Amino acid sequence: MKKSEISQEINLERRRFVGAAAMTIAAAQFGMIGSAEAQASNANQASATTIKPGTHTSFGPLKQIDAGLLNIGYAEDGPASGQAVILLHGWPYDIHSYVDVAPILASAGYRVVVPYLRGYGSTTFLSSSTMRNAQQSAVALDIIALMDALKIQKAIVAGFDWGARTADIMAVLWPERCRAIVSVGGYLIGSPAANQVPYPPAPTLAFWYQYYFATEIGRLGYQKYLHDFAKLIWQTSSPKWNFDDATFERSAASLNNPDHVAITIHNYRWRIGLADGERKYDDLEERLAALPVVAVPAITMEGDSNGAIHAPSTAYRNKFSGKYEYRLITGGVGHNLPQEAPDVFAKAVVDVAGY
């Protein structure tokens, strides 16, 4: 199949509504999940841990470090000598997506690092003149710079939403830095050119915020109603997650970062070709536009009640050439899988570490 055809297929599938996709995946993957559970039964204590979501509400004191273009705020847990795990959040969430995952992994001996992405929390740009750029390669380079600053040569990288895309990108551009990845939503690498394909009405409606952000009134609206906007995305992306106000407010505070609106708007405009990236990233973006295969060990996951646009696993299975497993997580789990099902997410990290 030609690259352009693969790109169109993946991007079209990614934009189909959750209902039909989830039912299809559930039927196809039911037996696989049972097999995966059996195979992982001898994994270490993190695999067996059952933790109620919301058990933890905070990390220890956060840390700051200069890394690349940023001063990055991050949480850290576990022994410094442990195998490194980097947990990456998405939009419009923050490090609290991993507030229950991190202690599970730390207790199992992993060194866990949970950074705020650019435009979130206490992560700030070192220079006021740096472009507030959120194209996919720039975000991934931030994490490589963080690993360099923390002297982490190789890590398991796990994430959802923007974080999953970043894990995928790191795995294909810098496989020597990735021990393995866990990617909620599967293969999320794309390009502005691939997103020029016109979509049917249903997926277009589901991507309403992308088109809203393409307008100036959308930027102003997001800035003015930031809190309400984020809460709506949480509700629609995880329709069966009954999070309380305190849980939402802990994460919503990170959106008050002075660069958050600019970063968010640039990301979504860049994706559909309405905003330029930076020429220094052209080579990386050209490589990503070819939709390279992930060769490092990988587990992809999906919640059975994910209300955000996502692809069925069949659409991206051939994009993973190393040891690989797909897991459908049942029980009403939505888009913010690590916070809604922390024990299951931690188990995936432990299992992929053993691949």
Are residues 281 and 156 in contact, defined by beta-carbon separation less than 8 angstroms? no
State how beta strands 124-125 and 298-303 pair.
unpaired
User: In a structure prediction context, what are the per-residue pLDDT tens digits for the chain, which is 355 residues long?
Assistant: 444 444 444 444 443 333 333 333 333 332 333 333 333 333 344 444 578 999 999 999 999 999 999 999 999 999 999 999 999 999 999 999 999 999 999 999 999 999 999 999 999 999 999 999 999 999 999 999 999 999 999 999 999 999 999 999 999 999 999 999 999 999 999 999 999 999 899 888 989 999 999 999 999 999 999 999 999 999 999 999 999 999 999 999 999 999 999 999 999 999 999 999 999 999 999 999 999 999 999 999 999 999 998 999 999 999 999 999 999 999 999 999 999 999 999 999 999 999 9
* Calpha distance 191→171 (Å, rounded): 17
Using DSSP's 3-state secondary structure scheme, residue 158 falls into: strand
- Per-residue confidence (pLDDT) for residue 49, from 0 to 100: 59
Vertex 38: Cα angle to 34 and 43 (nearest 5): 130
- Per-residue confidence (pLDDT) for residue 50, from 0 to 100: 76
* Calpha distance 75→58 (Å, rounded): 10
- Per-residue confidence (pLDDT) for residue 11, from 0 to 100: 46
* Calpha distance 323→284 (Å, rounded): 25
- Per-residue confidence (pLDDT) for residue 29, from 0 to 100: 32
Residue type, 116: Y
Per-residue pLDDT tens over the stretch 231-249? 999 999 999 999 999 999 9
257, two tokens:
């970062």
Instruction: Using the structure block, give the residue that is written with the tokens 């055809």.
Output: 5
Residue type, 151: K
* Phi then psi dihedrals of residue 38, to 5 deg: -65, -40
Q: What is the pTM of this model?
A: 0.88
